[in-house]
């Protein structure tokens, strides 16, 4: 990034004393942390991790 800034200053495109920013906002679906959604997230994570263990050769036995 420093090299790009130095080139821009050298070409006279920038003075190096100010910056430009972009604060674009994008609408998205929000996942609110309700009790049920948190428990469901835990169950999905445990399931994913157990599948990963099983795929790596660990013998998974239900209790």
51 part of a folded domain: yes
User: Would you write out the chain's pLDDT as a tens digit for each of its 63 residues?
Assistant: 789 888 888 988 888 788 778 889 989 888 889 999 999 999 999 999 999 999 999 988 877
Measured in residues, the chain has a length of: 63
17 part of a folded domain: no
3 part of a folded domain: no
- As for how many domains the chain has, the answer is 1
Angle subtended at Cα 25 by Cα 19 and Cα 30, rounded to the nearest 5 degrees: 140
Structure tokens of 45? 């994570």
Structure tokens of 39? 């428990």
49 part of a folded domain: yes
Q: Which domain holds residue 63?
A: 34-63
CB 1 within 8 A of CB 8: no
21 part of a folded domain: no
Q: Give the 3-state secondary structure percentages of the chain, helix then strand then coil, rounded to 5.
A: 50, 0, 50
Q: pTM of the prediction?
A: 0.48
55 part of a folded domain: yes
52 part of a folded domain: yes
What's the pLDDT score for residue 30? 84
């Amino acid at each position: 990034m420093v090299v790009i800034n130095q080139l821009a200053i050298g070409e006279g495109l920038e003075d190096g004393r100010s910056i430009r920013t972009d604060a674009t906002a994008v609408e998205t679906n929000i996942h609110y942390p309700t009790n049920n959604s948190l428990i469901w997230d835990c169950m999905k994570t445990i399931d994913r991790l157990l599948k990963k263990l099983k795929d790596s050769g660990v013998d998974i036995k239900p209790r």
